Amino acid sequence: AHEIRNPLASISGSIQLLGSSFTARQEEEQKLMAISLREIDRLNNLLTEFLDFVRPDTLKDDPVDLNSLIREIIEMLKFNKNLRSEVKQTLTLDASLEISGHRDKLKQAFLNIIINAYQAMNEAPNPAVEISTVNGDGKVIVKIRDHGVGIDEVGLRKMFEPFHTTKAKGTGLGLAVTHKIIESHGGRIFVESTKGVGTEFTLEFPARDLRGLDQNALADSQAASENFSIAFRGQKRGNG
């Protein structure tokens, strides 16, 4: 990674130094400099996502409160100028149990899903996202629903495949990394979508109260998740 990041940092620094010598009249040169810096940032982000995907996950068994994690993400997104600011947010965070795991990794996974939800509503007339958490049968269950463009059946089946993307500048690694993180926490993902109506992600995690600090239970849960980590409930179809 350093073999790539270091040259990119040098190029970025050189461009910024060169840009400081431009006059206010050199608008075309300033535009080209801005484009170059944006593309360097994009390469850095692509490298980060690729490394996140190929690196073995570092397992932790820390207590994680998903309610506070979700609130933190929603608060952070208020300052993201690339997302619509008028999206209606409904949070119903009723889960009282914690899960075990790596908080920063889980934050990355949830952030990827929630940002995708926002981006799916770029053209929606009434953009809204609903997030809920509940306890259920020894699990913590999280639902994230958007009122966006929806996903067709082919998209549903490919959405967690590396490098599959429907975005013009997407890398196709965001949801692949998300799946890997959730799987490493013994979690499962269910996806329901109606084209033109919206998409709902349901995530299930073993509750910490049941698993405690038992590393054998953690390993058993992860082994089971390798076979049952994704279950598509299928694409809902509207009446008519």
Q: What is the CATH number of the domain that holds 175?
A: 3.30.565.10
Note whether 27 and 124 are same-domain residues. Answer: no
Among the candidates 54, 79, 96, a domain finishes at 54
Note whether 119 and 160 are same-domain residues. Answer: yes
pLDDT tens digits, one per residue of 31-71: 888 888 877 776 776 676 666 666 766 678 899 999 999 99
Note whether 180 and 228 are same-domain residues. Answer: yes
The answer to whether position 240 is within a domain reads: no
Residue 170 has pLDDT above 60, yes or no: no
Cβ contact 229:217 at 8 Å: no
Residue 96 has pLDDT above 90, yes or no: yes
Note whether 166 and 211 are same-domain residues. Answer: yes
How confident is the model over 168-176, as a mean pLDDT?
69
pLDDT greater at residue 91 or residue 153: 91
Residue 225 has pLDDT above 80, yes or no: no
Note whether 40 and 76 are same-domain residues. Answer: no
Note whether 119 and 209 are same-domain residues. Answer: yes
Helix (H) or strand (E) holding 235: strand 230-235
Among the candidates 15, 30, 54, a domain finishes at 54
Range of the domain at 228: 62-235
Report residue 89 as tokens: 């947010």
The answer to whether position 90 is within a domain reads: yes
Note whether 24 and 76 are same-domain residues. Answer: no
Q: How many domains does the chain have?
A: 2
What strand order describes the sheet that includes 188-194? Answer: 88-93, 128-136, 139-146, 198-206, 188-194, 230-235
How confident is the model over 132-156, as a mean pLDDT?
93
Residue 137 has pLDDT above 80, yes or no: yes
Note whether 211 and 107 are same-domain residues. Answer: yes
Other residues' Cβ atoms within 10 Å of the Cβ of residue 52: 18
The answer to whether position 197 is within a domain reads: yes
Residue 164 has pLDDT above 90, yes or no: no
Note whether 46 and 120 are same-domain residues. Answer: no
Report residue 54 as tokens: 């190929």
pTM: 0.67
